[in-house]
Structure 1
Amino acid sequence: MQKIDEIIQGFLRDLNCDIVLNMSKSIKTGKKLRSKLILSISGENEESYKLCAIIELIHLASLLHDDIVDDAKLRRGARSVNSEFGTKNALMLGDIFYSKAFSELVGFGKKISQLIADSVSKLAIGELMDIELSKNFNADKSLYLDMIYNKTAVLIEASARSAAILASLDDLSFREYGKNLGLAFQMIDDILDISSDEKTLGKAAMSDFKEGKSTLPYIYLYEALDDKNILLDFFKKDLNDIEKKSLLDEFNKHGILEKSKKEALSYGNKALKAIEKYNNKKLNDIIENMINRSF
């Protein structure tokens, strides 16, 4: 992963802008799921490393814009760029990351370039869908699935498919793997927002609901409750510890988190089924680690 960070820093130094380098230093690059996926499919070589760096730069750009939309103060336990440097600077830094990533992407040829570019368009659409759904409580699971596919899964899907093209493998099988991995990944994120704590998450627990996000566990809880107002009265509210415990008790009472995790696991199994003929242990381990993670 250090090699990928070095390539990203090289991309940014090419821009010859100290402001960009200074702001970039404050960003934690995270788990690099997409890079691990690419390297597990196409192997470790200079071309794969460069593709990883491009994808990570795109992902970082999307997070910068996401934090602006959510007015997030923290990202992975540290101050967000918009909190530390201001919204305008964070917005422009995201645009710079996107632009630089696309300028490097053209070297990979038309098919991969189009795949990644299309995924970024859908990613932005996913963000718009998320904003729209956040206006009111959303109890429609199909709308939630459409939104997380675009906002999260589509870039993971494109990463897997592009890596398969580099390795001359069946890219459609790996598209299915990436899509289902991405859906499962977001579902686990949504569960952890409820079940984990601020120290582990790097942000306040149950912050999704405060921001108006009706994620899968909340949709399932809404379906299970006779008195829907038990949940709706908390929507977009800054909950205190007593209110959070009350809500968590309802999740536990109705077995909602276990039900949600079971659904995430079903998507993980779909991902494994799509590429079972390759018997790739690294890709199997990615699914297992992603499902059983604590942050």
Structure 2
Amino acid sequence: MGSLDFGVANELALVEARIRESIVTEEPLLHDIARYVIESGGKRIRPMVTLLAFRALGGTEVRKAVDLAAAFELIHSATLIHDDINDGGDMRRGRLAAYKKFGLQNALVTGDFLFVKAFGIGGRFDDDIVEITANVCAALAEGEIRQKRHAHDTGVTRSEYLDIIQRKTALPMSAGARVAGLLANARLEHIDAVGDYGINLGMAFQIVDDVLDVVGDASRLGKPPGTDVREGNVTLVTIHALNDGSAIDVRALERLVRKHRKQDVDVRRVLSLLRDSGAVEKARLDAQAYGQLAKKALDPIADSDAKASMIRLVDYVLSRDM
């Protein structure tokens, strides 16, 4: 993790160990697929949020925070398997998607396995923590269904898009922070504060992801630019271009977005239109606005190294690969 540990490198190592311990099984193929997915990388920002919120709110039983961070990361890994299947994505973080490497049925079962393992860890906690975790899983499913409903949809609104990414990305990050506050026996005001931080950080994170899909470098993304375009996911960049892209041929963009079987030339054309439209810059401003809201949410919490790291984490999310 190196420079990305933000002062919680030791705890993150414990999270990794807990995850690896949890996926041990007597079925070698199941273990191989689970390990393949877990080892696919990622910045582990979600467990960082949980661990930092726990510290910032005065938590002391680190092992419990580690367990919950591991549970949420297992849920996240399970959703990545299922999302790739649902979207038809070939690559994930520079490697073949699990279903492409191991087969559709094996990958589906492994996603279910990771969900079960997550609840095996998280289900030991108080009812309010279990309820938050269950609600997050429901929100993830709702977000995925809504995203597929609006695939190739040039009429999707900004509000509809924000609702989707709130369910798929922001609510899980917020939940990880809120359960940390509950574990730390923090005041409700402070639990709400880190929850709001997580929501806004998650929104910023996803919008930056959308921007990187248009202007990012394939070697850093771990997948070709234009993956969202190819899969029909209408992101905030596309919405801005469709609504405000006076400098481009909006009708051409609409026609290409609606096209279900896009060729490479179509994807390149869409990316060119998006880059020329000014939409990337507008989406970056949107991400920065959510980043400022995330920082502001922490105002009620006393200053500490952990709080400072949470603020720096916002800056990292906003600046990554941009």
- Whole-angstrom CA distance in 1 between matches of 2:195 and 2:169: 14
Q: Which of 25, 29, 34 is the matching residue for 1:19?
A: 29
TM-score, with structure 2 as normaliser: 0.86
Q: Which of 266, 269, 274 is the matching residue for 2:289?
A: 266
Give the unaligned 5+ runs of structure 2.
1-11
- Whole-angstrom CA distance in 2 between matches of 1:12 and 1:26: 11
Deviates more, 1:104-113 or 1:251-260: 251-260
What does the per-residue CA deviation read over 1:141-179, in whole Å, with 9 as the maximum and x for residues that have no partner?
A: 111011111111111110011111112232111111111
- Whole-angstrom CA distance in 2 between matches of 1:51 and 1:149: 21
- Superposition RMSD on alpha carbons, in Å? 1.8
1:1-295 correspondence runs (5 A): 1-13=12-24, 15-27=25-37, 28-43=40-55, 45-169=62-186, 170-226=190-246, 227-235=249-257, 236-240=260-264, 244=268, 246-278=269-301, 279=303, 280-294=307-321
- Whole-angstrom CA distance in 1 between matches of 2:18 and 2:232: 37
* 2:226/2:271 contact within 8 Å kept: no
- Whole-angstrom CA distance in 1 between matches of 2:108 and 2:155: 28
What does the per-residue CA deviation read over 1:212-250, in whole Å, with 9 as the maximum and x for residues that have no partner?
A: 111001000001235422212322453536962x54443
- The 1:130/1:191 distance shift into structure 2, 3 A limit, reads same
Aligned residue for 1:276, secondary structure, equals coil
* 2:208/2:284 contact within 8 Å kept: yes
- The 1:12/1:253 distance shift into structure 2, 3 A limit, reads closer
- Whole-angstrom CA distance in 2 between matches of 1:94 and 1:210: 24
* 2:75/2:115 contact within 8 Å kept: yes
* Letter in structure 2 aligned against 1:40: L
* 1:183/1:267 contact within 8 Å kept: yes
* Letter in structure 1 aligned against 2:67: K
* 2:229/2:267 contact within 8 Å kept: no
- The 1:283/1:19 distance shift into structure 2, 3 A limit, reads same
Deviation of 1:50 (Å): 0.9
- Whole-angstrom CA distance in 2 between matches of 1:249 and 1:96: 41
* Alignment partner, residue 9 of structure 2: none
* 2:47/2:69 contact within 8 Å kept: yes
Deviation of 1:6 (Å): 1.3
Deviates more, 1:155-164 or 1:44-53: 44-53
Number of residue-to-residue matches in the alignment: 293
- Whole-angstrom CA distance in 2 between matches of 1:240 and 1:143: 28
* 1:76/1:203 contact within 8 Å kept: yes
- Whole-angstrom CA distance in 1 between matches of 2:229 and 2:312: 31
Deviates more, 1:218-227 or 1:103-112: 218-227
- Whole-angstrom CA distance in 2 between matches of 1:184 and 1:195: 16
- The 1:242/1:29 distance shift into structure 2, 3 A limit, reads closer
Aligned residue for 1:26, secondary structure, equals helix
